[in-house]
Amino acid sequence: MIPAPFDYEVAESAEHAVELLGQHDDAKLLAGGHSLLPLMKLRLASPSVLIDIGRVSDLSYVRDAGDRIAIGALTCYEDAHFDETLKSSCPIVAHAAGEVGDPQVRNRGTIGGSVAHGDPASDIPTIMLALNAEFVVRGPTGERTIAAADFFKGVFEVDLAPQEILTEMRVPKTSSGWSYLKFHHRAQDWATVGVAVVLGDGSNNASVALTSMGERPLRAQGVEEALAAGEDPASAARRAAEGTNPVSDPMGSSEYRRQIAPVLTRRALEEALSR
Amino acid sequence: MNGARLEAEVEPRQLLVYFLRDNLNLTGTTVGCDTTSCGACTILVDGKSVKSCTMLAVQADGTEVTTIEGMAKDGELHPLQRAFHDNHALQCGYCTPGMIMAAAGLIQRGGDMSEDDIRLGLEGNLCRCTGYHNIVKAIQQAAGEMKSSATV
Ligand SMILES: Cc1cc2nc3c(=O)[nH]c(=O)nc-3n(C[C@H](O)[C@H](O)[C@H](O)COP(=O)(O)OP(=O)(O)OC[C@H]3O[C@@H](n4cnc5c(N)ncnc54)[C@H](O)[C@@H]3O)c2cc1C
Ligand code: FES
Ligand code: FES
* Among B16, B37, B126, B127, residue to substitute to test ligand 2 (most atoms within 8 Å of Cβ): B37
The vertex-A127 CA angle with A126 and A130, nearest 5°, equals 85
Q: Do B124 and A188 touch (CB under 8 A)?
A: yes
CA dist., res. A114 & res. A25, Å (int):
23
Which chain A positions have a beta carbon within 8 Å of B12's beta carbon? 5-8, 50
Domains of chain B: 16-70 (3.10.20.30), 79-149 (1.10.150.120)
The vertex-B42 CA angle with B36 and B46, nearest 5°, equals 115
B21–A contact, CB cutoff 8 A: no
pLDDT in tens, A158-192: 999 999 999 999 999 998 999 999 999 887 789 99
pLDDT of residue B151: 52
- On whether the CB atoms of residues A122 and A199 are closer than 8 A, the answer is no
* Among B53, B56, B128, residue to substitute to test ligand 2 (most atoms within 8 Å of Cβ): B53
What is the full DSSP assignment across A204-257? Answer: EEEEEEEESSSSS-EE-HHHHHHHHTT--HHHHHTTTTTT--PPPBTTB-HHHH
CA dist., res. A153 & res. A148, Å (int):
10
For residue A222, give every residue at least 6 positions away whose Cβ sits within 8 Å of its Cβ, in sequence order, or none: A239, A240, A242, A243
The predicted model gives B21-30 an average pLDDT of: 98
Domains of chain A: 7-52 (3.30.43.10), 57-172 (3.30.465.10), 178-274 (3.30.390.50)
What is the full DSSP assignment across A176-195? Answer: S-EEEEEE-SSTTPPPSEEE
pLDDT of residue A1: 86
* Among B94, B99, B132, B133, residue to substitute to test ligand 3 (most atoms within 8 Å of Cβ): B94
Beta bridge partners of A29: A51
Q: How many CB atoms lie within 10 A of CB A5?
A: 10
pLDDT of residue A114: 98
CA dist., res. B23 & res. B41, Å (int):
16
Which chain B positions have a beta carbon within 8 Å of A188's beta carbon? 37, 123-124
Nearest Cα residue in chain A from B117: A103
For residue A182, give every residue at least 6 positions away whose Cβ sits within 8 Å of its Cβ, in sequence order, or none: A99, A123, A191, A193, A194, A211
Q: Chain A: nearest CA to B127, how far in angstroms?
A: 14
Q: What are phi and psi of B86, to 5 degrees?
A: -60, -40
Of A1, A40, A104, the CB nearest to B39: A104
- On whether the CB atoms of residues B71 and B81 are closer than 8 A, the answer is yes
For residue B152, pLDDT beyond 70: no
B42–A contact, CB cutoff 8 A: yes
Q: Do B11 and A5 touch (CB under 8 A)?
A: yes
Of A55, A78, A104, the CB nearest to B51: A104
Altogether, the residues listed in chain A come to a count of: 275
Beta bridge partners of B65: B45
CA atoms within 13 A on the CB side of B108: 17
Counting atoms of ligand 1 from 1, which one is nearest the CA of A121?
Answer: 11
Which chain A positions have a beta carbon within 8 Å of B48's beta carbon? 78, 107
pLDDT of residue A223: 98
A214–B contact, CB cutoff 8 A: no
- Burial zone of B150 (CB within 10 Å; 0-12 exposed, 13-18 middle, 19+ buried): exposed
With the C-alpha atoms ordered A69, A75, A80, A84, is the resulting torsion angle positive or negative?
negative
Torsion of CA A246, A74, A83, A170, to 10 degrees: -70
In percent, the amount of chain B with pLDDT more than 70 equals 98
B51–A contact, CB cutoff 8 A: yes
ipTM: 0.96
CA dist., res. B28 & res. B46, Å (int):
19
pLDDT tens digits in sequence order for chain A, 275 residues long? 899 999 999 999 999 999 999 999 999 999 999 999 999 999 999 999 999 999 999 999 999 999 999 999 999 999 999 999 999 999 999 999 999 999 999 999 999 999 999 999 999 999 999 999 999 999 999 999 999 999 999 999 999 999 999 999 999 999 899 999 999 988 778 999 999 999 987 667 899 999 999 999 999 999 999 999 999 999 999 999 999 999 999 999 999 999 999 999 999 999 999 98
Torsion of CA A12, A13, A18, A24, to 10 degrees: 10
Q: Do A105 and B51 touch (CB under 8 A)?
A: yes
pLDDT in tens, A197-231: 999 876 678 999 999 999 999 999 999 999 999 99
A44–B contact, CB cutoff 8 A: no
DSSP single-letter state for residue A25: T
- Burial zone of A25 (CB within 10 Å; 0-12 exposed, 13-18 middle, 19+ buried): exposed
